[in-house]
Amino acid sequence: MEDLTKSQLILLALLVSFVTSIATGIVTVSLVNQAPPQVTQMVGRVIEKTVEVVSPSDSDIASVVETIIVSDEEMTVKAVEKVIPTVVSVVVTKDVPVLEQYFVNPFQDDPLLRDFSLNVPQYRQKGTEEKKVSSGTGFIISDQGMIVTNKHVVADEKANYSVILNDGQKFDVEIIARDLMQDIAILKIKKEENEESKTFKYASLGNSDNIKIGQKVIAIGNALGELQNTVSVGIVSGLNREIVASGAMGEERLFEVIQTDAAINLGNSGGPLLDLRGKIVGINVAKSSSGENIGFSLPVNIIKKIILDIEEFGEIKYAMLGVRYITIDNQISKEKNLSVDYGAMLVSDKENNAEAVFKDSPADKAGLKEGDIVLEFNGEKITSKKTLSLFISKSRVNDEVILKVLRGEENLDIKVTMGEQPK
């Protein structure tokens, strides 16, 4: 064979590559044709994607991008369609005075001035009427009509509450519980005697511990109190935020909050934040008053504890450990010359006669002592962001927990059965 020129060698290499790619394609398609239908369908999609990706033309690249976008949109639409039937508008009504106007001549009894036509308007109450005073959002979490919303939506104990379903049906509701620790309330639809067998579509709760920053989320709510089931899409912008929310109930500090840029407007409070699978991951609770596209949701996992309490006890119960402590950080560690820079040190307050370990409390019964440093709660480190109080608030009455404790130079694992906070 004659020696090939450089150009010929390049041409030959390209030809071999082309023939090889065709042969590979033929073999792949042949194998696919012999495979079961499910495999054929799956591999077919892979081949289609591969062909589109390797194609150098702009139209094919645009096709790939379009395919991905359409798929994302379809997931969003399906998630919304799945959840919207479970979202309700919470309507707050109250008996308000009905006033009527009348006119009085202030000089009626004055013989010199009473002939002047001087009528001053006055108002008096002639009765009351029930009027809508506010509204919010909620979502159904059981087929018997149990509903989650924000506590501040149903804060007025003298008001009347009802919900409007997505299909327009209206039902009165009763307040089952208002959480003292979180901005959460549980309602239940009232049924008539002939409606006892009636059931409702309900939302599926996800796991808020698994959500990631950058993940797409969808907020649904009764925007501005009028625009029922308004949908907005965004991403998770931050996790484990600590915020101070202000409202009619005053200020409330909220922990481990999800930050999102999905629009959360007035009236959206209590509505669901969901992922693209249609699972609820948060409860919309607040928006920033000083910046745009900054909304906040409570993680859905806090609801699960509340539901279990209501099912077991008929009310929300709050766990108690029974200790007084300070949270250790770098500064406290240096000041007290400690061997660790995290944890909760059990300390007393002699001036106020407050013991480090309350008598007969779960901590006392488990053998905790003043000066102990609780390093971990069920395997999780106690820090200034994840405080001992936070872990206690997530626990249920009668839960058995393991505390990793540093006592002097000794590490101990102490089992504690959580008690109940006195009412």
User: Is the model's pLDDT at 70 over the cut of 90?
Assistant: no
Of 89, 134, 152, 208, which one is the catalytic site residue? 152
Asked whether residue 287 carries a pLDDT value surpassing 80, the answer given is no
Considering the candidates 269, 275, 309, 395, report the single residue annotated as catalytic.
269
3-state secondary structure of 362: helix
Residue 283 lies in a domain: yes
Is residue 175 located within the same domain as residue 226? no
- Is 249's pLDDT higher than 70? no
Residue 3 has pLDDT above 90, yes or no: no
pLDDT at residue 64 greater than cutoff 60: no
46 pLDDT tier (thresholds 50, 70, 90): very low
Residue 120 maps to a domain: yes
Q: Is residue 365 a part of any domain in this protein?
A: yes
CA dihedral 25, 31, 37, 39 (to 10 degrees): -80
Q: Are 270 and 284 found together in one domain? A: yes
Which residue would you say has higher pLDDT here, 34 or 216? 216
Do 126 and 189 fall into the same domain?
Answer: yes
C-beta of residue 124 within 8 angstroms of C-beta of residue 102? yes
Query: Does the pLDDT at position 213 exceed 60?
Result: yes
Query: Which of 313, 341, 369 marks a domain boundary?
Result: 313
pLDDT value at 370 more than 90: yes
State which of 158, 174, 195 marks the end of a domain: 195
Give me the CATH number covering residue 124.
2.40.10.10
Question: Within a domain: residue 98?
Answer: yes
Lowest mean pLDDT among 98-102, 214-218, 330-334, 368-372: 98-102
Percent of the chain with pLDDT over 70: 78
pLDDT at 252 over 70: no
pLDDT mean over 248-273: 81
> In terms of domains, do 331 and 291 share one?
no
pLDDT above 80 (res 52): no
Of 85-94, 270-279, 347-356, 414-423, give the lowest mean pLDDT range: 347-356
Burial label, 363 (beta-carbon count in 10 A; 0-12, 13-18, 19+)? buried
Under a CB-based contact definition with an 8 Å cutoff, are residues 91 and 162 in contact?
yes
Statement: residue 6 has pLDDT above 60: no
Domain range enclosing 341: 319-420
pLDDT score, position 122: 83
215 lies in some domain: yes
Q: Which residue has the higher pLDDT, 47 or 390?
A: 390
| Model pTM score | 0.71
Mean pLDDT over the full length of the chain: 82
Q: Is residue 119 part of a domain?
A: yes
Q: Are residues 358 and 301 in the same domain?
A: no
- Encode 234-298 in three state secondary structure: EEEEEEEEEEEEEECCEEEEEEEEEEECCCCCCCCCCCEEECCCCEEEEEEEEECCCCCCCEEEE
Q: Which of 104-108, 238-242, 293-297, 311-315 has the highest mean pLDDT?
A: 311-315
Residues 176 and 269 in one domain: no
Write down the pLDDT at residue 356.
94
Residue 330 has pLDDT above 50, yes or no: yes
pLDDT digits (tens, 9 = 90+) for 264-276: 877 788 999 999 9
> Does 253 map to a domain?
yes
Q: What percent of the chain has pLDDT over 90?
A: 52
State which of 176, 195, 214 marks the end of a domain. Answer: 195
216 & 156 share domain: no
Is residue 157 a part of any domain in this protein? Answer: yes
Residues 99 and 77 in one domain: no
Q: Is 269 a catalytic residue?
A: yes
Which pair of tokens denotes residue 109? Answer: 């009894």
| Same domain membership, residue 390 and residue 306 | no
183 is catalytic: yes
73 and 92: one domain? no
Please report, as a single letter, which amino acid is at residue 307.
Answer: I
324 touches 355 (CB < 8 A): yes
Residue 197 falls in the annotated catalytic set: no
pLDDT band at 119 (very low <50, low <70, confident <90, very high): confident
| Cβ atoms within 10 Å of 232's Cβ, excluding its own | 20
| Cα 60 from Cα 63, distance rounded (Å) | 5
Do 386 and 293 lie in a common domain?
A: no
What pLDDT, on the 0 to 100 scale, is given for residue 59? Answer: 56
What pLDDT is recorded for position 198?
87
Cα gap 101→125, rounded to integer Å: 9
Contact 206, 280 (CB under 8 A): yes
With a cut of 50, say whether residue 96 has pLDDT above it.
yes
- 159 & 259 share domain: no
- For residues 221 and 294, what is the distance between their CA atoms, to the nearest angstrom? 16
Burial of 199 (0-12, 13-18, 19+ CB in 10 A): exposed
Which pLDDT score, from 0 to 100, does residue 97 have?
82
CATH (domain of 338): 2.30.42.10
Number of structural domains (the chain) is 4
Of 183, 275, 309, 372, the catalytic one is: 183
Helix (H, G, I), strand (E, B) or coil at 10: helix
Q: pLDDT band for position 117 (50/70/90)?
A: low
